[in-house]
Every structure is written in C-alpha cells, then in structure tokens.
A = this chain, B = another copy of it.
Amino acid sequence: MHPLIQHIQKITGSHDIDDDAILLFFETKTFKKKDVLQEEGKRCSTYFFVIKGCLRLFFTDHHGAEQTLQFALENWWMTDLEAFRAERQSAYTIQTLEPAEVLCITTRNYMLILEKYPVMEKYFRLVYERAFAASLSRVRMISRMPKDEFYDIFQSKYPVFLQRIPQKVLASFLGFTPEYLSELRKKKAKRK
C-alpha cells in the first residue's frame, strides 16, 4: 500500500479510502542530497509529503547564516504553510538533507481534494491538531527552558534526528552554536 494511504488510514482510522483517486492529486518526485525544493522569496504553491529521506526548512538571517526551524522525516508534511495557503512568496527555503522521495500537491489540488474527500478533511484536521498541540510544547521549550534541558527532551523525543541530521544544522535548529552543541555532546557522553 502507498505510504500516504497507510498514513491516512493510521491517522483517521478509516479503511474505506479510494487510493487511486486520491493519489491522482499528487506528483512523485525524487531529489538528490542538498537539492532545493522551495526557494525563499519564490511563490510557494507546493506542499511536500516525505516518502523517504529528510527535509529541512530554513531562512537566511541578517548575518547570512542559515537558521533551520523545522525538519521533516518520513510521513511528515512540509511547506511554508502561510505562503502555500495564499500562493504567496515563501519566507523559507526547503532543502533535502538526504536523497529524498517526495509527494507534491499544489495549492489548487489541495483545495480540490479537501472539497471532494471528507476523509481528507478529517486527515488534515488531525495532522494540524497534533502539530498545533505540539507547537505549544515547542514554544515552551525554546523560550523557557535551559539549553541542556531542551537538548535532553529533544534527544528523547526524536532520537533518530541526532543520527540523521548534520551537527551544524542541528545546532542551528536548537539555537545553539555548533561549538556549544559539540561541548554538550561530549559532556553527555562522559556522564554515560
């Protein structure tokens, strides 16, 4: 079964899904490592669902440094959602960290699929409900937690990230310098 259909079944609990009809709204694309899927400042009209690989979303700050705000692994959705909804300029770049296979849906097809298939309304309601619920914990962690505590929680919640994501990118995501992250990892390794 296609990974997206599996994911819809898992999230919604529905087994009565018209696979072929739903998949017609999407296009499958493959990318090499470090390929750019969406460029900052360009119109955003594509939403990505990761079948295989890892994406990151970042912007370039005043000092020219790339600031990573999100990752997407298998079964995760990624876009600049504010821009995508209105087909406006993206505030972010989306790039692969590994070779990737990705499903793509346009804003127009996203609207059509939601209109036509009630199971997709339920699916996206649940995807966003979870994501929005998690975002509150994230704000709490970023803004109110000592850095090493934030790292511990991140490590216990997303252990796979620590293996698949380059140190420099991970440091940027956590809001650390690469040096601080490296020191912290050494300290943690010693304690074990």
Contact = CB atoms under 8 A, between A and B. Distances in A.
Interface of A: 59, 61, 67, 69-70, 80-82, 85, 91, 114, 118, 121-122, 124-125, 128-129, 131-140, 142-144, 175
A135 B70 CA distance: 12
The 4 closest A-B pairs by CB, nearest first: A128-B128, A81-B133, A125-B125, A135-B135
10 contacts: A67-B140, A69-B143, A70-B136, A80-B136, A82-B134, A82-B137, A131-B132, A131-B135, A135-B138, A142-B142
As for how many copies of this chain the complex holds, the number is 2
A80 to B, nearest CB: 7
Given A69-B144, A118-B118, 19 more contacts: A61-B144, A67-B144, A80-B136, A81-B129, A81-B132, A81-B133, A81-B136, A82-B134, A82-B137, A85-B133, A114-B122, A118-B121, A128-B129, A128-B132, A135-B138, A135-B139, A139-B139, A143-B143, A144-B175
Contacts of A140: 59, 67, 69
